[in-house]
Structures are given as structure tokens and as C-alpha cells.
Chains A and B, each alone.
Chain A
């Protein structure tokens, strides 16, 4: 069993997996003039939570479910399948690359903290494993539950973009925190939906799409100078 402190530790933006370097698509949305103030940031966060947040949380929960399978072949087969299913939900090559880069960074931390966790079951994909799959294995190693795993994933999609909003738009950090407080119920609901969805076969996992997230990510990837990696 995990202690509540482990849940807080893994959800903390200071966990050394490089999350602070990513704006979750906000930098490109700001540059496109689509996010300009608190109101548009709130709409951005709500949309991101319902799309990328739900999908990432469901895949983290599904990887957590795979991590507790007894047989190596079953674990590695399930994770390989999840990897391909997540690729099929990530139409933008820039977003696939970002997810794998973040997965690599999280894996580095995970291997060092929980050397006995079954990270070797992840498929050896070029670019690294997808971040939600690594998160699922990491949370299982920490003894967290499936819904706690989904909660960390959903929460991470919100807080990364929210703190980037403070830096990119010079917004009042108190008011941005108030936005997050207002989204807490939606975040819990998304995590609960994601944890439930993890029981479905991989092809039925959530596939919530966001056309602008794909478009913004590809535009952002071409910039020579940027504040955030994504």
C-alpha cells in the first residue's frame, strides 16, 4: 500500500521528470492569439482536460492495470498494444515525439527510484516509451491505486499548462490557482472516468480529439526560438 505522501510526491511538478519545460500546447495557443486572458485560459484548460487529459489518464490507468499482470509475456504484450493504440490517438508527429521525450525523462527518474519495477516490459520504441505508460508503471511500483494514477495524469495536464499561463501571459498567480480550484471537480471526474475506462479493451479506450492541439503542436515544432519544449 502507498502512503498519501507518495501520491503527492508523484503529482508534484517538482518531481524530476522535466514537466516544467512543457506548456501543454499553451505557448502556441497564446502565440496564435487564442489564449489572451484568464477566461480564455480557463476554456483552454477545460478543453485540454477533456481531451488530452482524459486520454493520457486512461492510458496511464491501463498501463497500471497491465503492470500487475503476473506473466512477463502478458505485461509486455499489453504494453506494446497500448503503445500502438496511443500512437493511433496522437495524429500529430510533434505530440508523439513530446510524449515519448517526456516518457524517457520519467523513465530515467523511475529507474533510479524504483530499480525493481518492470520498466523492461515497455516496448523498445524509437524515441522512447509514451509518458502515460511509464507513469502507469511508476505509480504501480509506488503502490498507488489505478484511480490515483489517473488522477496524477489528469492533474499534470492541468497544472503544467496553468503555470505556463502565468509565465506566458503575466497572469496573477492567485487567480490562476483559483481557476485550478474551480476545475478540481472536473479533474477528479476525468480521473474516475479514465480509471473505469481502463477495464475496456485497448481499442475502446478514450480517443478524445482536439484539432487545434494537433495544429498548434506542429506549428510550435517549427519555431526556432521558444520558451517551452511543447
Chain B
């Protein structure tokens, strides 16, 4: 399946946010849900199982100056195998203007056995933009060895590179389950918080979670591994 979804938000001039464009295609459907203190809230609703290898899904988000948007999903997405040799792809492009805020807080991505999935996010933040971006990856359903999955995140702040990271798991990623990468943890993820009004905090690390102030702008990355999705979520809720 191929799908293109698009979300454009603008400040409404009364302290709120208007969604001037909200367009989805099966299986990538967008539903506006009740507003939360001037923040427009949108849920991604999977209109089909998957993504299945061969699916090509794209989501474009633009948050205009002063607007605020929060995106959730109603359920975890489960990357599944499809046509032999095919790859499923979920590409998100987000542009966040000055004074605008984007919260991207979807449910987990589960890499099922035999999947071949690429989740690729590119986010351009203007100077003065805020972001809260959470990615959670579960390596296989219960007791299952995952297929191949790559979660690639590329964030620029004010035209400068802020974060580039590509986490690969599965049979094509040597050592991914080993002690240099995930140490056998089936759940991993990160939360990037960019907030120009918040002073940088020093790094901390304990057990399998760390808070990492970034070099390229007012951003902090929380990174974690966990024995299950629930523990991971607790690590990545700040």
C-alpha cells in the first residue's frame, strides 16, 4: 500500500491552534481529538494491519509560527513481512516554525519476525521552535526474534545538525543484541526534548537510561533500553 498523509497547523490568533489541513489515506488516517489547552491533538489511526513489507507510508507535518500540535497513535504499529525482498517504509517529514511546538508521542513500533522495515524521520526546527519526539522500538513480539528494522532520526535546529541517529536491529545488524548496542534488551527508545526556554541540564546515566544534552542546540536526548515496553515508557516519560 502507498499512502500520503498531511497535517498543517497554524496559530488561530486567539491563543489556539487551527488545523488548516488534515488529510490521510488508508492505512495512514488522521483524526482530530479534543484540544488540550490550546494544543491541537491528532491521533494516527491505523486503517489496516502492518506496515507490511512493500508498504510506503509518508506523513508530512507543518506547524506554523506560534502553533502547537500533539500527535499520538491509537495502537502500536507492527512491522510485518510481506512480499519477498520488499521493505516497508514509514517516512515522517516535520517542519516546526519559530515559537511553534510539536509533540510526537506515538505508541511503539514492534518489529515482528521476518519484517524489513525502515522508519525514517526528518525534522527541521526553526530557531525558537520546541519539540518532544519519542521513538520506541520493541524487538519482536513476545519471545520472538525480530526481523530487520532501522529507526533513523535526523533533526536540524536553526539550520544546524542537532541529532542524527540510526538504530538497526535484526539479522542484518551485526552485534545489535550484544553488549555494545542493546545488551539483550527487547525494548529500546529515545525521547528528544528541544526547548529553547529551558536551561541545559548536565548529563546523567543510571542502569540502562541516560539523559544526554546535545551539542548542536537546546536539545536533550533521553536514551534507554528496557526489558519491556512498560518499563521503557516509564524511562522515556519526563
Residues of A within 8 A of B (CB): 25, 29, 32, 34-35, 40, 43-52, 84-85, 87-94, 96, 186, 203, 206-216, 218-219, 221-222
Which residues does B use to contact A, with CB under 8 Å? 152, 154-155, 160-168, 173-183, 188, 190, 203-206, 208-210, 212-216, 221, 223-225
A230 to B9, CA, bound (A): 46
> By the criterion CB–CB under 8 Å, are A214 and B175 in contact?
no
Q: Is the CB of A47 within 8 A of B176?
A: yes
CB pair A46–B179 under 8 Å, yes or no, is: no
B180 engages A51 (CB within 8 Å)? yes
Q: Among the listed A203, A206, A222, which residue makes an inter-chain contact with B161, where contact means beta carbons less than 8 Å apart?
A: A203
Residues of B within 8 A of A206 (CB): 166
| A91-B223, A92-B203, A186-B174 known; A213 vs B180 contact (CB < 8 Å) | yes
Contact between chains at B180 and A91 (CB < 8 Å):
no
Choose one: B161, B190, B224; the contact of A88 (CB below 8 Å). B161
* Structural contact, B215 and A88, CB atoms closer than 8 A: yes
A209 to B166, CA, bound (A): 5
* Residues of B contacting A52 in the complex (Cβ-Cβ under 8 angstroms): 180
Cβ 8 A contact of B175, one of A34, A45, A87, A216: A45
Contact residues in B for A221 (Cβ distance below 8 Å): 203
A32-B179, A44-B180, A207-B165 given. 20 additional CB < 8 A pairs? Answer: A32-B183, A43-B177, A46-B174, A47-B176, A50-B175, A50-B176, A52-B180, A87-B215, A88-B162, A88-B164, A91-B165, A207-B164, A209-B165, A211-B167, A211-B223, A212-B225, A213-B180, A214-B212, A218-B210, A219-B210
CB distance from A22 to the nearest CB of B (A): 14
| CB–CB A87/B205 < 8 A | no
Chain B neighbourhood of A50, CB < 8 A: 168, 173-176, 181
